[in-house]
Amino acid sequence: MGRIKGPAIFLAQFLREEEPFNTLSGLAKWVADLGYKAVQIPTWDRRTIDLEKAAESQTYCDEYKGLLGQFGLEVSELGAHLQGQVLAIHPAYEMMFEAFHPKGLRGQARTRWATDQLEKAVCASARLGTRTVPVLSGGFAWHMAYP
């Protein structure tokens, strides 16, 4: 239990076009003022993190942690839920999941994109010093559980 960071909050559910919900610093101030100590970062939205930079640059990650630190916050996890969700999709649900990945990706191209995103999330997580990357396991078996 000593490694749990928090109380924490997942930022994805609060992202909006209006302030303070449209930037990382705006969200950070808002959640810090609510008493949170850590944030789970959605890796699919550049308003919260540039996943490519985070995967490649320790400097970027150090500056990122510094920005959150100004508000008394730290990263609890990098969430890669949507990328994991589209990693394996049953063909019957491919159109339903199109909002979760770049336009025009189908089949193997979509799988390669999702794999690359998940690999970047793992690298970025290591650079940020977090130990887990929560994901959803894909939509391949949805047809057995969802009508």
**Which tokens sit at 53?**
């930079």
Render each residue's pLDDT in the chain as its tens digit; 147 residues.
Answer: 456 666 888 999 998 999 998 999 999 999 999 999 999 999 999 999 999 999 999 999 999 999 999 999 999 999 998 888 888 887 777 888 888 888 988 888 988 999 999 999 999 999 999 988 888 776 666 667 665
Q: Which fold has domain 8-145?
A: TIM Barrel (3.20.20)
Amino acid at position 62, single letter = D
Q: What angle do CA 126, 132, 133 make, to 5 degrees?
A: 90
Per-domain residue ranges of the chain: 8-145
Q: Provide the β-strand partners of residue 77.
A: 40
What is the pTM (predicted TM-score) of this model? 0.86
**Which tokens sit at 16?**
């909006």
CA atoms of 56 and 90, how far apart (whole Å): 32
